[in-house]
């Protein structure tokens, strides 16, 4: 249930409502909006008796929330959320481009790619220090050393950093160096990791699980938000289908679906969706056209020798071309 406060309700009245909700055995989370504040009730297993709350000063109305995800739902937060990280805004209309290699391989590799993508308009550098690999024998990432390299990339280029935490053991180290913590597709339902990310003060990119429905994905985002972290960015990265011509099948319909039911921004990763670099530009165009708030793209200075995901990594000149195409598309947004 959403308790909507009157436009002129005071902070003390909002706090009194939260207190009353606590007495009823639930939690009240304030949802500040452009016009007025509302308090979302979470933790209830069934319908909430609204009479006591409706009688309180400053309360306008109580609206039942029909979705199982509350904080993530547009029902509780009708305006689209804009997430600020450093000086960038995700969800504000301008697509935000996050680009870089699949994995941080060396300082030279990371800095070369970072300088290039920055020069062409990327705002965030991506690169895994901890890599979730299908095979235990594949390159697992440089770990702590990779994080140090990312730190240097931030200092030298001014780019923000998004990098993945693969388990609750490395989340603490990752959040020290990252501006945005990535939770990967394989971990979308790792509930202890989601809860920990919810306690972080860093923004989170939550990738869609390979076989996750939209509702399951949004419930995963709810885990993070229910712990207090409101800065969740959803990332569609392709799902498993019978179609085997691409690594995964990019579900572009997820973007309008999410926009309908949730206020959270959603970005698209065309690289892991396609698994091949020649599809990345067309899929990116599609993503921007259907309303994605940004892209997460793999780029490598020497894809043939990349330690992971070389076949889907753009050559630098292809990234430059992608950025030109996005610039062209902006006039239609």
In this complex, which beta carbon is closest to ligand PEP, that of residue 89 or of residue 186? 186
Q: How far is the CB of 318 from Mn ion (least distance, A)?
A: 16
User: Binding string to Mn ion for residues 291 to 330, with x set by CB under 5 A, is what?
Assistant: ------------------x---------------------
In this complex, which beta carbon is closest to ligand PEP, that of residue 20 or of residue 312? 312
Residue 230's binding partner among Mn ion, ligand PEP, none (Cβ under 5 to 8 angstroms by kind) is none
Which segment (2-10, 47-55, 99-107, 247-255) binds Mn ion by CB under 5 A? 99-107
Let me know if 97 is exposed, middle or buried by CB neighbors in 10 A (0-12, 13-18, 19+): buried
In this complex, which beta carbon is closest to Mn ion, that of residue 28 or of residue 101? 101
Closest residue to Mn ion in the complex (CB): 102
Residues 6+ apart with CB under 8 A from 182: 126, 128, 162, 163, 164, 165, 204, 205, 207, 235
Residues 6+ apart with CB under 8 A from 143: 129, 130, 170
End-to-end CA distance of the chain: 34
In this complex, which beta carbon is closest to ligand PEP, that of residue 184 or of residue 198? 184
Residue 259's binding partner among Mn ion, ligand PEP, none (Cβ under 5 to 8 angstroms by kind) is none
| Residue 102 engages Mn ion in binding (rule: CB under 5 A) | yes
In this complex, which beta carbon is closest to ligand PEP, that of residue 40 or of residue 221? 221
Residue 75's binding partner among Mn ion, ligand PEP, none (Cβ under 5 to 8 angstroms by kind) is none
Q: List contacts with ligand PEP (CB under 6 A).
A: 102, 128, 132, 184-186, 207, 237, 269, 272
Distance CA(214)–CA(220), nearest Å, equals 10
Q: How far is the CB of 178 from ligand PEP (least distance, A)?
A: 13
Q: How far is the CB of 323 from Mn ion (least distance, A)?
A: 20
**Per DSSP, what are the bridge partners of residue 103?**
128
Residue 143's binding partner among ligand PEP, Mn ion, none (Cβ under 5 to 8 angstroms by kind) is none
Q: How far is the CB of 141 from ligand PEP (least distance, A)?
A: 10
Q: How far is the CB of 134 from ligand PEP (least distance, A)?
A: 9
Residues that bind Mn ion (CB under 5 A): 102, 309
């Amino acid at each position: 249930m959403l308790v909507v406060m009157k436009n002129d309700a005071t902070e003390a009245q909002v706090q009194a409502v939260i207190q009353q909700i606590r007495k009823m055995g639930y939690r009240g989370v304030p949802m500040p909006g452009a016009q007025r504040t509302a308090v979302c009730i979470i933790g209830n297993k069934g319908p909430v008796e609204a009479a006591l709350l409706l009688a309180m000063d400053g309360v306008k109305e109580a609206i039942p929330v029909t979705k199982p995800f509350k904080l993530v739902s547009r029902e509780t937060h009708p305006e689209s959320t804009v997430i600020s990280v450093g000086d960038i805004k995700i969800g504000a209309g301008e697509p935000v481009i996050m680009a870089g290699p699949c994995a941080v391989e060396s300082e030279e590799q990371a800095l070369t790619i970072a300088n290039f993508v920055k020069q062409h308009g990327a705002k965030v550098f991506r690169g895994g220090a901890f890599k979730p690999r299908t095979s235990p024998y594949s390159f697992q990432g440089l770990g702590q050393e990779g994080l140090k390299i990312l730190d240097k990339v931030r200092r030298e280029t001014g780019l923000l950093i998004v990098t993945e935490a693969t388990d609750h053991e490395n989340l603490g180290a990752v959040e020290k160096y990252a501006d945005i913590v990535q939770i990967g597709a394989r971990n979308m339902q790792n509930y202890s990791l989601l809860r920990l990310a919810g306690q972080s003060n860093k923004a989170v990119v939550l990738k869609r699980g390979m076989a996750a429905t939209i509702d399951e994905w949004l419930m995963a985002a709810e885990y993070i938000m229910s712990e207090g972290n409101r800065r969740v960015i959803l990332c569609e990265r392709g799902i498993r289908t019978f179609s085997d011509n691409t690594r995964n099948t990019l579900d572009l319909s997820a973007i309008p679906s999410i926009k309908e039911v949730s206020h959270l921004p959603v970005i698209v990763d065309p690289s892991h969706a396609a698994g091949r670099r020649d599809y990345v530009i067309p899929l990116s165009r599609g993503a921007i056209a259907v309303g994605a708030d940004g892209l997460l793209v793999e780029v490598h200075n020497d894809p043939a020798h990349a330690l992971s995901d070389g076949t889907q990594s753009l050559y630098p000149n292809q990234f430059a071309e992608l950025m030109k195409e996005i610039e062209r598309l902006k006039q239609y947004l």
